[in-house]
Structure 1
Amino acid sequence: MGKGGERISSMASEQEKDEGVVMASDFFWSYTDEPHASRRKQILSQYPQIKQLFGPDPWAFPKIGVVVILQLWTATLLHDSGWLKMLAIAYFFGSFLNHNLFLAIHELSHNLAFSTPVYNRWLGIFANLPIGVPMSVTFQKYHLEHHRFQGVDGIDMDIPSQAEAHIVRNVITKSIWVLLQLFFYAFRPLFLKPKPPGYWEFLNFFVQLSLDAAMVYFWGWKSFAYLIMSTFVGGGMHPMAGHFISEHYVFNPEQETYSYYGPLNLLTWHVGYHNEHHDFPRIPGRKLHKVKEIAPEYYESLDSYKSWSQVIYMYIMDRTVGPFSRMKRKVKKSE
C-alpha cells in the first residue's frame, strides 16, 4: 500500500478510535457446517412437495434471447453517440440488461434452463455476448464451489482476500471498493486460486472475442465501449450490484446468508431469494418465492432486506462493517 493509502487508513483508525468504533480485523469464524444443507433436509422432511419445484425453467431461453438482442441492438444504435450520452444510457439502461445477463449465467451455472448440462453451457456463452468479457464458463467453476464449500477458507472465492480486507478500512476505500467490486469479484479467484482453462473456456473466449471484433469492425469502438460500460457501471455503485453485498456480508453475527424481498428481483432472476436459493439450488429463480410461501417459518425469522441501495449505503457508512464481515470456516480434515 502506498503512503496515501497508509495516511487514509491511519486517519480512519484515529477517527474510529476517537469515536469508540472498531472495524473487525479478522473474519467471522464458524466451527459448524454451513446452514443450508441441514435446513434443506428439515424442510424437505416436512414439505416434500417442494421437490415438485425442482427442474429447468422453460422460459429461460426466450428471456435471455430477448435481452441479448435488445442490448446488442442498443449498442449498434449508439455507434456515433457522445461519450456522456453513452455513459448515461449505460448506467440507466444497459447496466440493468447486462446485470440481468450476469444473473442469467448464474442461473445457467445450476443447469436451470435445460435438463442437458451442455445446452446450459452453450446458452451461457450466448448470454455472455453483451457482457463483452468472456466469463460464463469460468464463473460456473468457481460458483459451484461457493455452494458446496460456502465460507471454506481457501476454496470459496466469493470471500474477499486478506489484502482487500486490510486495505479497505474506511468510508473512502469502501466506496472505491464498491465502485470497482466487479473487478475484485472477477480477478480474485484468478490470483488466489487459478484453475487451468479447459476446452469450454477457450470456446467461450473465442466466441466472445469474435463478437467483440465484429462489433468493432461493423459499428466501431463506441458500440463495443457501450457494452463494457454497461457491464462495469452495473457492477459498481448501482442498485442491482447491491446483491453482491447483501447475500453474505454479515451485519448480524448470527446469520451468514441474507435474502432480499424487493422489486429488483423481477430483473435479477430472483437472486434476492438467496437463503432459499442456497437451500434449494435446483429450483429456478422464478419459483423460489414458493419455497418461502410453503415453509414460511424457516425464513420469516431471518434478517432480510427490501432495498439493495440501502445495503450499499449501510456497508459504506457503517464503520464496523467491511470486507472482513464474512463468515469463514476451515476444511474438515479426514481422520
Structure 2
Amino acid sequence: SGTQPKGLEPRPPTPMTWRMVGVPAPVFPGFEFDILDRVPSEEKPDSIWHRDRARAILRAHPEVRELFGHEPSTAAWCVLAASLQLLLAFVAGFWLPWWGAILTAWFIGAPLNIVLFQLAHECDHHLVFKSSRWNRWLFTYTSLPMFFLGHHTWWIDHIIHHNDMSAPKDFVMRRRAVYLGMRHLPPLFVPYGAFVCVTQFLRTGLGLLLYLVTSLLRFRATPSDVSLAVLGDVHLVSGYKKEKIEFWAVAYPLISLAIFGALWWLAGWQAILYLAVSQVFFTGYLHPYCLGWVLAISHVHNRDRFQPTASHYGKWVNLTTFNAGLHVEHHDLMGIPWQQLPKLRRLAPEFYEDLVPLSSYIALALRFTFASSDRFISLFDTDTVNLTRRLITRAQKRQA
C-alpha cells in the first residue's frame, strides 16, 4: 500500500489542460511562469550548490580554466552519428522485417539516441563552434533523427536548467515530478514517450497552421505569440524573442517533417517505425539502461544526502556516450567540452572523492520500478518531499 511521505498532505489529481499535451515536461496548472522570470537563490538550491562548487574549484585550481573552449572536431561526430541513425532507418526500410526494425531499435537505435542527445547537448552549450548560428544548425541535424519535432524548445530550456536548477522553471524538475508522481505506472512499462511523440506531431501541425493563418492575417512572416505558444509552450515565447530565434521554431519542425516525409517515400514506413520506436525505447520504455540514464539526468538517483547530481564513471558507458556519465562535472563547469571533462576530476580530485557516484543505470531503473512503497520512500524520500514542497510553496506565493 502507498505510505504517505512524511510532511506531505494528500492533494487532488492535477487536471490536464491543452497546453500540457505534446510536451515532455508539462507546466502544471498553478505553477505557471515565464522563462525569463528571475529566480531567487532560495528557490534554486541545486543550482547554488553547483555554483559554489564551481567557484571553489576555480579558486583552488586556476589551471582548470585551460579546459574551457570549443571543440570543432565534435562536428564530425555529430554528422557521423546522425547519418548512421538515418542509414539504419534506410536499412530497416529496405531489408528488415517490421520485428527486425523493432529489435534493431532496441539494441542499437535507443542507445544511439543517447549519443545524439549528448552531441546535440554540446551544440546547445556552444561548445563546438564559436558561432551560435553554426551550433544551432549542427544541433538541428544532430537531433533530427530522434523523431521529436519539439527539440527546438531545448535550445532555450536547457540553459535555464543549468542557471535555475531545481526551480519550478527548470524543465528537468517538472519531468522529475512526473516520474515521482507516476511511480506506480513506471516508464519502464508505460510508453509515455509514444504518447508525447504522437501528440507532439499533432501539436506541431496545429502550430504550423496557426503560423500560416496569423502570418497571412498580419501580413508578417514573424511567428505570432499564439503560434509560438503552440509550437513550443506559452512560457517559452519570451525566450524565443530574447534569443531572436522565432523563425527556428517554425523551421525546425518543417525540416523534420521534410526529412521524415522523404524517408518514408524513399524507404517506406518501416524506416519511420525504426526512428519512432528508437525514440520510445530511448525514453525508457522496456529499456532499463535508457530509463536509468534518463532518471540519472533527471536527478533521480536515490541519494541519502543532499547531492543534486551524480556521475557514472564506468569506462564503457562514457566511452560510448561521449562522457555523458560525467554529470556532476558538467554541471559544475558547463563550459568544458566533453573531450576535456575527465581532466576536471583529475585536476580537482578532492571535490569529487566524497560524492556518491552511480554504479549502474540498469540497477537504478530496476530499483525505481520494482521497489516496494516503503523501500521507494527510503530511496527517493528526499527527492519526493523536497520537490513537492518547493512546487507547493511556489504555487502558494503566486496565488497570494
Confirm or deny a common fold (TM above 0.5).
yes
Q: 1:310 & 1:158 partners in 2: Cα distance? A: 21
Partner of 1:240: 290
Q: Is this contact kept in 1: 2:326–2:341, CA < 8 A?
A: yes
Q: Does 1:74 align with 2:88?
A: yes
Q: Does 1:219 align with 2:234?
A: no
Q: 2:271 & 2:176 partners in 1: Cα distance? A: 37
1:195-237 residue CA offsets vs partner (Å, 9 max, x unmatched): 2362112111111111001001111111111111112212213
Residue 178 of structure 1 deviates from its aligned partner by 7.1
Residue 25 of structure 1 deviates from its aligned partner by 4.3
Q: Is this contact kept in 2: 1:57–1:284, CA < 8 A?
A: yes
**Larger deviation: 65-74 or 233-242?**
233-242
Q: Does 1:195 align with 2:236?
A: yes
Q: Does 1:115 align with 2:168?
A: no
Q: Does 1:174 align with 2:183?
A: no
Q: 1:67 & 1:165 partners in 2: Cα distance? A: 29
**Larger deviation: 251-260 or 113-122?**
251-260
Distance 1:235 1:83, change over 3 A: same
| Aligned residue pairs, count | 309
1:43-92 residue CA offsets vs partner (Å, 9 max, x unmatched): 10111111111111232111111112211111111115322111100000
Q: Does 1:207 align with 2:264?
A: no
Q: Is this contact kept in 2: 1:165–1:324, CA < 8 A?
A: no
1:85-122 residue CA offsets vs partner (Å, 9 max, x unmatched): 11100000111222211221112110111111111100
Q: Is this contact kept in 1: 2:345–2:352, CA < 8 A?
A: yes
Distance 1:91 1:165, change over 3 A: closer
Q: 2:342 & 2:363 partners in 1: Cα distance? A: 22
Match of 1:99 among 114, 123, 145: 114
Q: 1:74 & 1:31 partners in 2: Cα distance? A: 42
Q: Does 1:253 align with 2:305?
A: yes
Distance 1:58 1:241, change over 3 A: farther
Partner of 1:9: none
- 1:319 alignment partner AA: F
Partner of 1:61: 75
Q: Is this contact kept in 1: 2:188–2:288, CA < 8 A?
A: no
Q: Is this contact kept in 2: 1:23–1:169, CA < 8 A?
A: no
Pairwise mapping of residues 18-167 of structure 1 onto structure 2 (< 5 A)? 22=5, 25=8, 32=45, 34-80=48-94, 81-153=96-168, 155-160=169-174, 164=178, 167=181
Distance 1:135 1:59, change over 3 A: farther
Partner of 2:21: none
Unmatched 5+ stretches in structure 2 = 10-41, 201-228, 241-245
- 1:105 alignment partner AA: A
Unmatched 5+ stretches in structure 1 = 1-11
Q: Is this contact kept in 1: 2:152–2:252, CA < 8 A?
A: yes
1:144-165 residue CA offsets vs partner (Å, 9 max, x unmatched): 1100101012x11111369736
Q: Is this contact kept in 2: 1:150–1:156, CA < 8 A?
A: yes
Residue 300 of structure 1 deviates from its aligned partner by 1.0
Q: 1:183 & 1:35 partners in 2: Cα distance? A: 35
Partner of 2:354: 301
Distance 1:161 1:104, change over 3 A: closer
- 1:257 alignment partner AA: T
Match of 2:384 among 318, 324, 329: 324
Q: 1:128 & 1:161 partners in 2: Cα distance? A: 20
Q: 1:89 & 1:37 partners in 2: Cα distance? A: 41
Q: Is this contact kept in 1: 2:53–2:332, CA < 8 A?
A: yes
Partner of 1:285: 338
- 2:303 alignment partner AA: F
Q: 1:284 & 1:72 partners in 2: Cα distance? A: 26
Residue 31 of structure 1 deviates from its aligned partner by 7.8
TM-score by length of 1: 0.81
Q: Percent identity?
A: 25
- 1:174 alignment partner AA: P
1:233-262 residue CA offsets vs partner (Å, 9 max, x unmatched): 122134134222124125223211111111
Q: 1:271 & 1:146 partners in 2: Cα distance? A: 16
**Larger deviation: 114-123 or 250-259?**
250-259
Q: Give SS of 2:93's match.
A: coil
Q: Is this contact kept in 2: 1:128–1:135, CA < 8 A?
A: no
